[in-house]
Amino acid sequence: MRAVAMAVHHYLGLLATLPYFIPLIGDGLQQFQPIHIEDLAKVIIHCVERKGKICRLLKIVGPDIVTMKDILIGFRRWLGVEPARLIKIPLIFIKIASKLGDFFKIGPINSTSYNMLLQPNIANKNDFIDFTSIIPRNLQQGLTTEPLTVQSI
């Protein structure tokens, strides 16, 4: 799981640090509720250590709804990179790239990822917070707890 989080972190860091511009998928308003990996680990440990069965679905999300645009701008600020122009890439080009990704098996660029981006990736945070008493940190708090290193980019 840590490897996946690091890969996403690396990918977003690369997009956020491009010189002169930040590419946005469509309008960049795709919704997410990112949760810090350490907060996710706390929830998992809580569930494993709990006595008795857990007969419910927990939607584990961060406290705030943010857009892809917010995430990329936040990463850029965290990395100390100058503000850049936002360039909206029309969804038709992203769809074509995802089809090529399906064919050539190019990393995270594929139709599944494309279709997931079109759906809001959000949920009510109160259910899992009430169940675990774990308050996840927001995106900005999560970034400030991570040391900035060469590997951050």
- In the chain, where the domains are located: 2-146
List the end-to-end C-alpha distance of the chain, in Å, as a whole number. 19
Based on the number of CB atoms within 10 Å of its own CB, is 127 exposed (0-12), middle (13-18) or buried (19 or more)? middle
Query: pLDDT tens digits for 86-128?
Result: 999 999 999 999 999 999 997 788 999 999 999 998 999 999 8
Distance, in Å, from the CA atom of 98 to the CA atom of 112, rounded to the nearest integer, reads 8
pLDDT-based confidence at residue 3 (cuts at 50, 70, 90): low
CATH class of 2-146: alpha beta
Query: pLDDT tens digits for 34-82?
Result: 999 999 999 999 999 988 777 888 999 999 999 999 999 988 888 888 8
